[in-house]
Amino acid sequence: DDELVRAVHRIMSHADEVRRMAVRANADTGEDSARARRFGAQGVGLCRTEHMFLGERRSLVEDLVLATSAEERERALAALEPLQREDFTKIFQAMEGMPVTIRLIDPPLHEFLPDYTELSVKVAVAGDAAEEKDRALLAALKRLHEENPMLGLRGVRLGLVIPGVFAMQVRAIAAAAKAVPGSRPEIMIPLVAAVQELEHVKDETRRILEETGVDALIGTMIEVPRAALTAGQIAEAAQFFSFGTNDLTQMTWGFSRDDVEAAFFSKYLELGVFGVSPFETLDRDGVGGLVEIAVERGRATRPDLKLGICGEHGGDPDSIHFCHQAGLDYVSCSPFRVPVARLEAARATLVCGGSDTR
């Protein structure tokens, strides 16, 4: 009833006054962003742009990946750009001047391409009557086939190998930011493992931003162990870090994030290796250790480095507590977890203190 609602609001606003860390939400659409605001999010910490290419747009991505000439590639990119501009405009409108971290495309490529086995059967059955497009697709799939796509052509690697994709996205972000005055875009490069990758993409991104006269932060995900260890170098080229603890957990433990129910998990629980899955609660000794190393080395290079987390752990109370202690500036989680994150960030401030944690 009304009284209860008022009491909840009082508690939440008290928590907001107390907490040191900001709370953002992971949101991929204008609708998600509006929902995140209703739950009290102070920005978008992760917009996963690859989700924008599923559904009807899949065929455009196929065209792009399968393009055999610069013209074909340009045509596919030109078809995607206005759609992207529209996507970003809606998010900026919903967020009304709050920071919005847009991650450049990070697809496990196989999710966008037709199934190799299915297509090869189709072409084999059709024999001489097989369609030309199917034959071309099959040949390209053979070329791009990976035994382990999660460790393959993803994230920044895709941007380095397929020219123009990242630039198209950055142009769309810049145009959307211009269309919505007051927007605060933060452009994030995924799956970086070495500063050279980041430098290459950052320089191109900066050039486009300068040409369009748009101001945006440029930063990176820290989700590969090597990125955490070389955070001092990476911070030379990044204005912010966001910890991608889903991939970081996968790569630190060597557990597949897609098979978390794997048979050996119960054995690990039995042995007391962990009490809860490390994909749910940040493993303080392992993944947490890498986070602390990256915070320390990153800030040693760039004292004003902005630090956040956008893996699933950003919505888990125990992990939020850890993030506060590690000196992060914000956590980002699913919109529905934002209220819990606001409360836990406040609790962590009360228990550990606010400004002296870093």
**In the complex with ligand PEP, which residue's Cβ is closer, 33 or 349?**
33
Minimum separation from the CB atom of position 111 to ligand PEP (A): 12
CB 58 within 8 A of CB 112: yes
**In the complex with ligand PEP, which residue's Cβ is closer, 51 or 206?**
51
Strand partners, 221: 242
Which of Mg ion, ligand PEP, none interacts with 310 (beta carbon under 5 to 8 A by kind)?
Answer: ligand PEP
Residues 214-253 that bind Mg ion (CB under 5 A): 223, 244, 247
50 touching Mg ion, by CB under 5 A: no
**Number of residues that this document lists for the chain:** 358
Contacts with ligand PEP by CB under 6 A lie at 46, 48, 106, 223, 244-247, 310-311
**In the complex with ligand PEP, which residue's Cβ is closer, 46 or 320?**
46
Q: How many CB atoms lie within 10 A of CB 34?
A: 16
Sign of CA dihedral 187, 22, 358, 311: negative
**In the complex with Mg ion, which residue's Cβ is closer, 247 or 283?**
247
- Give dist(CA 284, CA 257) in Å, integer: 18
Minimum separation from the CB atom of position 249 to ligand PEP (A): 8
* Phi, psi (deg, nearest 5) at residue 223: -140, 0
Q: Which two tokens stand for residue 215?
A: 């101001």
The site for Mg ion, by CB under 5 A, has a size of 3
Strand partners, 189: 220
What would you measure as the largest C-alpha separation in the chain, in angstroms? Answer: 74
**Residue number with the smallest Cβ distance to Mg ion:** 247
Whose CA is closest to 268, among 253, 251, 258, 247?
253
**In the complex with ligand PEP, which residue's Cβ is closer, 247 or 316?**
247
Minimum separation from the CB atom of position 223 to Mg ion (A): 5
Residues 77-136 that bind Mg ion (CB under 5 A): none
First to last CA, the chain: 41
**In the complex with ligand PEP, which residue's Cβ is closer, 106 or 316?**
106
- Give dist(CA 8, CA 181) in Å, integer: 34
Minimum separation from the CB atom of position 257 to ligand PEP (A): 8
312 touching Mg ion, by CB under 5 A: no
Kindly list the residues in this chain that would bind Mg ion in the complex (CB under 5 A).
223, 244, 247
